[in-house]
Amino acid sequence: MLQRISISNFTTIEGAHVEDISLTYEIFGKPLFEAPIVLVNHALTGNSKVCGERGWWNSLIGKEKCIDTDQYTVLAFNIPGNGYGEAKTQVFENYKIFKARDIAHIFLKGLETLNIKKLFAVIGGSLGGGIAWELAALRPDFIEHLIPIACDWKATDWLKANCLIQEQLLLNSKNPVHDARLHAMILYRSPESFSARFKRSYNHEQNMFNIESWLLHHGEKLDARFELSAYKQLNYILANIDITYKRGGFLDVVKNITSNIHLISVNSDIFFTLTEDRITYTTLKEVKQNVTHGIIDSIHGHDAFLIEYEQLNRLLKDVF
* Cβ atoms within 10 Å of 267's Cβ, excluding its own: 15
Residue 67 host element (H or E): strand 67-68
In this predicted structure, what is the pLDDT of residue 90?
76
Give 284-291 contacts, CB < 8 A, sequence gap 24+.
284/254, 286/251, 287/251, 287/254, 287/255, 288/254, 288/255, 288/257, 288/261, 290/259, 290/260, 290/261, 291/260, 291/261, 291/262, 291/263
Q: Is the pLDDT of residue 89 over 70?
A: no
What's the pLDDT at 93?
85
Tens-digit pLDDT profile for residues 253-295 = 999 999 999 999 999 999 999 999 999 999 999 999 999 999 9
Residue 88's pLDDT is what? Answer: 54
Mean pLDDT score of the chain: 96
Q: Show the DSSP H helices in 139-227 as ranges.
A: 157-172, 176-188, 191-198, 210-225
Statement: residue 175 has pLDDT above 90: yes
Compute the distance between CA of residue 97 and CA of residue 170 in angstroms, rounded to an integer: 17
Inter-residue contact 283 to 318 (CB < 8 Å): no
Residue 248 clears pLDDT 60, i.e. is over it: yes
The yes-or-no verdict on residue 104 having pLDDT over 60 is yes
For residues 165-181, give the mean pLDDT.
98
- State pLDDT tens for residues 195-232: 999 999 999 999 999 999 999 999 999 999 999 999 99
Q: Which pLDDT score, from 0 to 100, does residue 87 have?
A: 46
Residue 102 has what pLDDT?
A: 98
- The arithmetic mean of pLDDT across residues 233-247, rounded, is 97
Residue 149's nearest CA partner among 70, 263, 26 is 263
Give mean pLDDT, residues 181-193: 97
Domains within the chain, CATH numbers bracketed: 3-155+241-316 (3.40.50.1820), 158-235 (1.10.1740.110)
Q: How far apart are CA 49 and CA 76, in angstroms?
A: 8
pLDDT tens digits, one per residue of 3-27: 999 999 999 999 999 999 999 999 9
pLDDT score for 43: 97
Query: How confident is the model over 94-111, as a mean pLDDT?
Result: 97
Please say whether the beta carbons of 119 and 138 come within 8 A: no
Q: Is residue 86's pLDDT more than 70?
A: no
